[in-house]
Chains A and B, each alone.
Chain A
C-alpha cells in the first residue's frame, strides 16, 4: 500500500509578487510502505522544499498530497535534518522524549533502545554541546526512528559530516533500517550514497520535474567494496551527467 501519494504537486514561492519563483513544477510519485526511496538532484533543484511540503512545514501551491498511516490516525512522521536540531538546553534523553506522544515506560524503553542502536546509550544524560557533530547527528537519527514513524524523512543527513564518520553512519542506518523496515524518503545530492541505501531513486531536475525513476535491485547489506554496487553507482552517475548536459543545452 502506498504510504505517500503525490500528484501534480507544484510549489511557487512568493506567489503574486515580482519575486515569484517556481521551484517544483509537476511532481507525481508514490511511495510504498517499507521501501527506502531516495530523491537525488543537484543543489537548488527543490529537494528540501519537497520534503518540507511532505512534512507539513511548507504549504504547496497546487496538486495533491496524501499520507496514510497503519493506525488509521494521522500519519506519524520522523525527520532527520541536515543539522542535528537538538534542544541545546536539554539532555540527550530529554531530546528523545521531547518529540514523543507520551511518557509511558514503553516509550522511554523504546527511546533507550534506539539510543543504544546508534551507540549512545552511555550519553543519555549529556547535553548536545558535549557531543561531537557526528554523535549529535546520531541522536537526531535515533530520535526519528524512536517515534516509530509511518514515514521517515531525511534531508542530506550526512552532508555536514566528514567522510569517515558519514560512511560509518550510512552503514549504521542500513542496519537500523533493515531491522525496522520503516518507509523512508531520503534526500541527497550524492548518487553514490543513494545507490548504497535505496530501493528506488527519483532523480529531480532543475526546474522541479522528475527526470527519471530508477529501481535499485541489489541485495543488502550493500558495501562500498562490492563491485556490483560500484558498477551501478557509475551507471546512475552517468545518467545524471547526461541530464545535466541536457538541461544545459535546453537552457542555451
Chain B
C-alpha cells in the first residue's frame, strides 16, 4: 500500500487553456485549415496523377487551355447558354417541387398519388433523361432544360414533403382553431417551417441538375458547356476537356458557397434574433 500521494494540479479553466494555446496551433486546428488542407491534398493528387499518366493533363496545361478558350471567345457564349438552361430548369424544379412537396406533406391522398412517380423519378439517372429528351425535343434549349428539371425535381419534392410532415402539430391546431385560410397557412406556417428542407432540396437540385444539363448538352450538340467539353473530348484533347470540367465544378462550388449559403442565412434571421 502506497502512502505517498502525487499532487494533482487543479483542472484548468477554459480561459487558461485559451491563453496557453499558441496562435499557430489555433490556426492549424481551425475549420479553415481543414478546408485548405483538403484543397491542397486534392491538388497534390492531381499533380501526381498527371505526372504518372500521360493522358491526365496537369494543372498548368489545363489553365493554358482555359486561357486559350477565353481568347477564342468560346467561354462566355457557351457558359451563358448553359447557365440559362440550367437556371430555367432549376427554377422550374424548385417551383413545381415545392408545390408537389407541400401537397404530399399535407394530404394523405396527395402522398398516395405522387409517391410512386417520385420514387421512379429518383431512380432514373440523368443520362437516361438526357437520351430521352434529346430524342423527344431535339437539339435546342428544350432538352437540357427538361433534363435539368426532371433529374432535380424529385429531390426537391422529397425534401419539402418531409419538412411539411414535420410542421408542428401544435401550430397547425392553432391555425385550425382560428380558421386561418389555407393559402395563408402555406405562406406563413408551412413554407417558413420548411425553409431548411427547401434549401436542402434546391441544393440537391442544383448539383444533380448540373449533371442533367451537361449530359443533355453532351448528347444534344446545341452548344453549351457540355457540348464544348465533348468537342475537346472527341478531338482527343483532354486538356481542353479538363479545362471545362474545372470551370463548371469551380462555378458550382462558388455558387454554393457565396449565394446559397447567404440566402439560407437570411432565411433563418429569426433564429439568430432568438439567441
What residues of chain A have their CB less than 8 Å away from a CB belonging to chain B?
52, 55-57, 74, 76-79, 81, 83, 85, 87-90, 94, 98-99, 127-130, 147, 153
Contacts and interface: CB of A to CB of B under 8 A. Distances in A.
Nearest to A83: B170
Contacts of B170: 81, 83, 85
Contact of B188 (A79, A81, A90, A128): A90
29 contacts: A52-B173, A55-B176, A57-B173, A74-B179, A76-B179, A77-B178, A77-B179, A78-B178, A79-B174, A79-B177, A81-B170, A81-B174, A87-B171, A87-B188, A88-B271, A88-B274, A89-B192, A89-B193, A89-B270, A90-B188, A90-B192, A98-B175, A98-B178, A99-B175, A127-B270, A128-B274, A129-B274, A129-B275, A153-B177
Given A87-B188, A89-B193, A128-B274, 8 more contacts: A78-B178, A79-B174, A85-B170, A87-B192, A90-B188, A98-B184, A129-B270, A130-B273
Interface string B176-199: 111110001000110011010000
Contacts of B180: 98-99
Interface of B: 170-171, 173-180, 184, 188-189, 192-193, 195, 270-271, 273-275
Nearest to A77: B177
Contacts of A129: 270-271, 273-275
Nearest to B192: A89
Contact of B171 (A52, A76, A85): A85
A99 B189 contact: no
Contacts of B273: 127, 129-130
A57 B177 CA distance: 7
B154 to A, nearest CB: 27
- Residue of B171, B177, B192, B193 ringed by the most chain A CB atoms within 10 A: B177
Contacts of A85: 170-171, 174
- Residue of A55, A83, A98, A153 ringed by the most chain B CB atoms within 10 A: A98
Contacts of A56: 176-177
The 6 A-B pairs at the shortest CB distance, nearest first, are namely A129-B274, A99-B178, A89-B192, A89-B270, A79-B177, A55-B177
Contacts of A87: 171, 188-189, 192
B177 A147 contact: no
Nearest to B268: A89
Q: B interface, by DSSP: helix, strand, loop or mixed?
A: helix
A147 B178 contact: yes
A78 B174 CA distance: 10
B33 to A, nearest CB: 33
A57 B176 contact: yes
A41 to B, nearest CB: 21
Contacts of B270: 88-90, 127, 129
A133 to B, nearest CB: 13
- Residue of B188, B193, B271 ringed by the most chain A CB atoms within 10 A: B188
B182 to A, nearest CB: 13
A10 B180 CA distance: 28
Nearest to A78: B178
Contacts of A74: 179
B264 to A, nearest CB: 14
A201 to B, nearest CB: 23
A105 to B, nearest CB: 19
A56 to B, nearest CB: 7
A130 B271 CA distance: 10
A78 B193 CA distance: 23
Contacts of A81: 170, 174
A81 to B, nearest CB: 7
A81 B176 CA distance: 13
- Residue of A57, A85, A89, A98 ringed by the most chain B CB atoms within 10 A: A89
B202 to A, nearest CB: 18
Nearest to A94: B188
